[in-house]
Amino acid sequence: MAAAWEFSLPLVPADLLRDSGPGHYVVEEVLTIRELPPALTAFRTAFRAQGALAVLQHFDSLYSLLHHFQAVGTTVREDALELMMQVVSQHSKELSAILGDSGLIHADRTAHLNALKMNCYLLTGLVDAFEMETYKNGLLEADPGGKNKKNRAKSSQSSWEEERELILQLLMQLLQLDLHQLWGGLTVEEEFVSLMTGSCYRILENSSIGLQKYRATRETVTHLLAAALIHYDHMFSATLKITQMLQHFEHVAPVFAQAVSLWATEYGLKSLVGELLREIGQKCLQDLPRDAPGIKGYATFITELAEQIPALVLSNMSVLVRHLDGESYTIRNAILAAMAEVLVQVLNGDQLEEAARGTRDQFLNMLQAHVCDINSFVRSRVLQLFTRIVQCKALPLTQFQSVVSLAVGRLKDKSVVVVKNAIQLLAAFLSNNPFSCKLSCTDLAEPLKKEVQKLQEMRGRGRSTAGNFPSSSFPFPGLTPEEEWEAMLPEVRTATQQLFQPLEEGEEEVLEVEETVESTLEQITGLLRRLKYKSAARLTQKALCHFQGKEPFNGLMEENEEATILGVLKRLYTGSCPGENSEDPPRGNGSLNTEEVVPEEQPQTELIKQEMLVQYLQDAYNFSMKITEAISLISKMMYENCVSVVQEAIEFFVTVSKFGVPQALLGVRRMLPLIWSKEPGIKEAVLNAYRQLYLSPSGDSERARAQGLVHSLSLIMVDASLGTIQCLEEIISEFVQKDEIKPAVIQLLWERFTEKSQCSSLERRAAVMLLGMMARGKPEIIGSNLDVLVTSGLSEKACEDYRLAQEVCNAISKLSGNLKPAQGKDNAPFRLPQNHMLFGCLSETVSKGFAQPSSHWIPFMEAAVTLIYQLAEGAEEICAHILQVCSQQVLEKLQEADGQEADPGVSPSRVSDGASSLPTFLLMHLLSLVGQVALQQVAYLEVSVSAELRRRRILRDAKKDKRHSDSSTKKQRPRSTGDEATMEEELGLVGASADDAEAELIRSICETELLDGKHLFSAFVPLVLKICNNPGLYSDSALSAAAALTLGKVCMISSEFCDSHLRLLFTMMEKSTLPGVRSNLIIAAGDLAIRFPNLVEPWTSHLYARLRDPCPSVRQTAGLVMTHLILKDMVKVKGQVSEMAILLIDPEEAIVGVAQNFFSELSNKDNAIYNLLPDIISHLSDPNCSVEEESFHVIMRHLFSYITKDKQTESLVEKLCQRFRTARTERQYRDLSHCLTLLPLSERGLHKLQNNFDCFADKLQDPAVYNCFQTVLARFRRAGGKPETKALAEELEQKLAASHNRGLDSAETCQEGSGTPMPEPAKQKPTESSRRQPLSTVNRDEDFVTPQSRKLRSHKRAQKRLPPKKAIVTFSSDEEKSSEDDLSAELKDEETPTKTTPITRSSARRLC
């Protein structure tokens, strides 16, 4: 069969419509859509008759279908596809039969070649068309169009996917044939190969090809391309095509990585890996950052390829390394990840060759260098890679210390992600450390010191022994035996080679082999030490023959006898021969020098071992020190805003605790307050941490595990603060409620408490505390054993251990639960009868210990009184009895003191008043008891009694309503009365009025009854006031503190009493020289501000004044109290809140923490910090405030971190610019400009700067101000923006430079014209009142007057004529109109109270 033309594969379909010259096939006519069905039928008929060659006459029909594919119906398309699949399948069978026929004529070969190209062209054209149609249908699925349309699209897509798989298999069958025969045995034309592989590449361009359901399609494509690569020289084209697709289609990277890995491993196409990596490596470094999709594709491909075939990537890594210096951090991450995979999978282990070790170290050095990369994503990724390397144990021990140091350094990184991964890396180091399961610095320091000392002694003995030898005995001093042998080897080899030459006369007689192996070894070693190499070699040669079968001469003589001799000599010299470990002293007929040298062999080996041990201990100690350093840094991260960092820090401390690091306990305690976190993830992390640490102890039995758990929990409570115990209680109650604590643990705690199980007093107390914590989750734990608690903890022995008795009271108090019954519930609160044994024991223990000096009696007494008021019926009677008994003891002591008037002198531990005196502790106990009873009586009335009154009223109302409802069925109530009552009930007036009546009843009891002459408290009030008013007479610090606290508690009872004694309370707060008194009164004032806010409000400034107290403990207490008052809106915050801001620079870390916590909580309120910032800036930039400029920067940096909203930023920019108009000193200019640098400037913020340029233009002559504005603009430019915005920034920068230069020029002109330097702005010295001064006691009480209420002050100011204004600088808030009741940021002259309070402000120097 002949063909007069040749079919050339076109570049584009339209080429077939143009005449390309004689002998080339041209499509004569493109059929219409209507003509296509009959044409396909004709083709099918011809195919049945002629086979695959029928396409030679019917090609135009199928070409026309491709031409009109979009307009042709689905049925016609599918019929054409099915027909072409049959044709290609048939042709494949025909070709397999004829290609092996050597007698194939040229005409038939040409016909089959044309038919093959036509059939493949048509089939691949249909594949591409259907693939494009599928892609469009996929886009339609995302369009919420018609439902039926989507269903049709899905059904057609699924049918095409099935057909696509079969077509790819057909094409693969074709390529597996030897098609070169159709081209006359020559190379298959490239266009045909591209035609076959082009469909594969177009299928891979579909973004959904990576899904699991298309796995078979991907594998078929991979094998098809492999056939093209192997048989049809597709390597170069595939390299270019894959590189292009990686650049434009990000999703193909994993597909091609898997394919390339398969080609390299199963088909042996390893060179393709090098070609692809070389092509990527040759990309321009400058062009890559602009090609985001290409970067991601290349990066994913490199990473995935390194995971699958790391050895091949290693051999081509050199072409990629240059990109580590490029700008694209994505590529850097990929290359570094590839290096890590190579290190883990290839360059891992101790058996590496020298070149491989060098490559490994080079890769590790590159990874370490990028731990400090400029991009945070790279730093983070490298830390992740090191984590994997450490977990796979692929990091050499020599690199441990350097990588750990880098990880610790990254804990201070600004990027949260970097910090998180640094914590993970350190945790991985701990879990996979090669040193020890216990990493305590203390435990490691002692053995290290001991072993170092031992090593020094061994070296000293070696040096002293060496002094007895001739200098020739140690040919290479200072070197290890291995290094010495390497130095000796050339001479030894030369001497050994001389063995095979004629012997010297007499030598044979001298060197006779000894009778034993040990003696011979000593003789040979001695010869080596004396540098007689030839004699040593000859003796070794003889010994090999004489001692055959004995170590070390049991080796067979090799063909190279020289190598055998050298091997034995090396083993003897370097100390690796077993025969030299003999502990027997050297004996035999050896020479003197030999006997002197032999004892050194064993110590030499021991010295090496000792050096290795010391190095091991040193590495372990250094590692432990780095972990300790990391602990101190990570413990501070537990209160970061980032949840993930906090979770990682918690998990880190769990890991550290498992390795016995002592400092881990501090971190475990520090995470306790996070149990109150509002973030569920953090709270759950804390619970999981304690669950891992304490609920899974090791032990063979249930009892052993319970003992381990109790012991661990007891350790936490040693020296724990009240806050720590409360947090631990919350955690344990959670575990109890979830039944995660076994009954064996509770049983063991009861045994410890009742002393059935031997334990210390500390462990017994911890057992009671743990039982109390568990009772919060399940009160029946305590309720069912109440008698045991009372008899064992509050018996006669209670006076011996008040701390145990106090914890027993705290545990029993868990029975009270919530004293407020739920609304609508009629159940009475849990109370015990007044004659219960519990209250008898408490009364007796309190009364008995009252007259005994003990520092623990007061805390116990407070717990006992609190418990009585919580659980007892008639609690006030029980406490009144206790007060009477204790008062009687005081009177008896006083009578005894009166009887001893004649005794000379008074003990310093007694207080005297006239002729009588009392022990100080007795008076202190009495005041503390009075204060605690007074406070609990108020709480009892306000909470318990009020709740009980309400409960009883609800019950009465319920019974009344029930009676009314019963009677209403018999007799209808008058309509009008019923309507009024119903209306009142609906409005809630009935319940509200009743609540008011009950509250008024409680208030009247407190105001009129508790402190009148008939009540017991009235007898003690004069004593309290006398001690408070006479600090000189009652000078004991503990007594003064107790009296001050009792005064505050008594003031809680009545507003009238409080009002009349507030002046005394605040006078003591200001003037007392005792920090304990000031702290107690600050706490009392805080409670009074909540109970009687209107009375305490005029004294608020004195509370703020304590924030500058010279004593740190007082400042901390004041900070805590003010935090609670401000956050509860009990104190108005205006400019005085700047005193809280000053605490941010306090030298005490705990006080800084209080301030940080305050502003963190305040930031949760809407715009609170934003509203206060202008006033804070005004006060702190005021020279009278005496805040240093650097300290001002620290404060502002913290406060501005809470400004996150764009609108707030823009408004603050405008406000700060406006403030330049009112600023008068250079310091204020600099402070305001520095604040601008702390704001993230947006486009609108830039416009605000431009619009308010006149406000600060004249201040730009100051270099510091100018530099701040330059910093603002530089940061804005780095952030990028629109071209017009950049132009605006450049314009503003030019204006800034012009104003700055103009200011400098005018200053120079002024100096030149006047001939005198310009006067500097007057530096205002800070006033004495702004500095902290020691508290003075010379002020008189009458000088300290009660401030008038705000309303009265405003009224007097309105009647008074305003004095002339002084030229002072004030910075009020930016509100245009403030209400008359609001205080301005600073008091002006007309606002100063007419009666001033001459209180010396606290000094700037903290004295305590």
Nearest to 1196 by CA among 1212, 1220, 1214, 1210: 1212
Helices (H), strands (E): how many in the chain? 60, 2
| Each residue's pLDDT tens digit, 900-909 | 654 444 443 4
DSSP state string for 405-416: HHHHHHTT-S-H
Give the span between the Cα atoms of 1218 and 1225, in whole angstroms: 15
Give the span between the Cα atoms of 622 and 1233, in whole angstroms: 46
- CA 1075 to each of CA 858, 1031, 1080, 1108: distance values in angstroms, whole numbers, following the listed order: 19, 14, 9, 13
Give the span between the Cα atoms of 171 and 374, in whole angstroms: 50
When pLDDT is averaged across residues 262-290 and rounded to a whole number, the result is 81
Give the span between the Cα atoms of 26 and 346, in whole angstroms: 58
| Each residue's pLDDT tens digit, 297-349 | 888 889 999 989 998 988 888 888 888 888 888 888 999 999 999 999 988 88
Q: Is 1280 exposed, middle or buried (0-12, 13-18, 19+ CB in 10 A)?
A: exposed
Give the span between the Cα atoms of 1173 and 255, in whole angstroms: 56
Here the tokens at position 449 are: 């010191």
- Choose from 712-716, 825-829, 967-971 the range with maximum mean pLDDT: 712-716
| Each residue's pLDDT tens digit, 211-247 | 777 788 888 888 888 888 888 888 888 889 888 888 8
- CA 447 to each of CA 200, 442, 444, 603, 613: distance values in angstroms, whole numbers, following the listed order: 68, 9, 6, 21, 10
Nearest to 1199 by CA among 1230, 1166, 1228, 1158: 1158
pLDDT at 337: 92
- CA 1312 to each of CA 426, 1258, 1317, 1319, 1321: distance values in angstroms, whole numbers, following the listed order: 64, 20, 8, 14, 19
Helix, strand, coil share (%) of the chain residues, nearest 5: 70, 0, 30
Here the tokens at position 450 are: 């001991």
| Each residue's pLDDT tens digit, 190-211 | 888 888 888 888 888 887 787 7
Cβ neighbours of 430 (radius 10 Å): 20
Residue 121 clears pLDDT 70, i.e. is over it = yes
Give the span between the Cα atoms of 178 and 196, in whole angstroms: 15
CB 313 within 8 A of CB 273: yes
- CA 159 to each of CA 131, 163, 994: distance values in angstroms, whole numbers, following the listed order: 12, 6, 78
- Choose from 459-473, 960-974, 1256-1270 the range with maximum mean pLDDT: 1256-1270
Determine which helix (DSSP H) or strand (DSSP E) holds 928, and give its type and residue range.
Answer: helix 920-939
Contacts of 1378 (CB under 8 A, 6+ apart): 1384
Q: Crossing angle for the helix pair 920-939 and 857-871, nearest 10 degrees?
A: 20
Query: Phi then psi for 81, rounded to 5 degrees?
Result: -65, -45
SS (H, E, C) 830-854: CCECCCCHHHHHHHHHHHHHHCCCC
When pLDDT is averaged across residues 1029-1045 and rounded to a whole number, the result is 89
Contacts of 72 (CB under 8 A, 6+ apart): 33, 36, 65
Task: Enumerate the β-bridge partners of residue 913.
Answer: 916
| Each residue's pLDDT tens digit, 842-887 | 999 999 988 888 889 999 999 999 999 999 988 889 999 999 999 9
pLDDT at 443: 67
Residue 103 clears pLDDT 60, i.e. is over it = yes
Going by pLDDT thresholds of 50, 70 and 90, the confidence category of residue 286 is low
Going by pLDDT thresholds of 50, 70 and 90, the confidence category of residue 494 is confident
Residue 1328 clears pLDDT 70, i.e. is over it = no
Here the tokens at position 376 are: 């945070």
pLDDT at 1356: 44
CB 682 within 8 A of CB 643: yes
Give the span between the Cα atoms of 647 and 641, in whole angstroms: 11
Task: Enumerate the β-bridge partners of residue 912.
Answer: 917
Give the span between the Cα atoms of 103 and 93, in whole angstroms: 18
Going by pLDDT thresholds of 50, 70 and 90, the confidence category of residue 1080 is very high
pLDDT at 1303: 60
- Choose from 582-596, 1144-1158, 1322-1336 the range with maximum mean pLDDT: 1144-1158
Type of residue found at 880: A
- CA 217 to each of CA 127, 133, 195, 715: distance values in angstroms, whole numbers, following the listed order: 13, 18, 18, 63
When pLDDT is averaged across residues 475-498 and rounded to a whole number, the result is 70
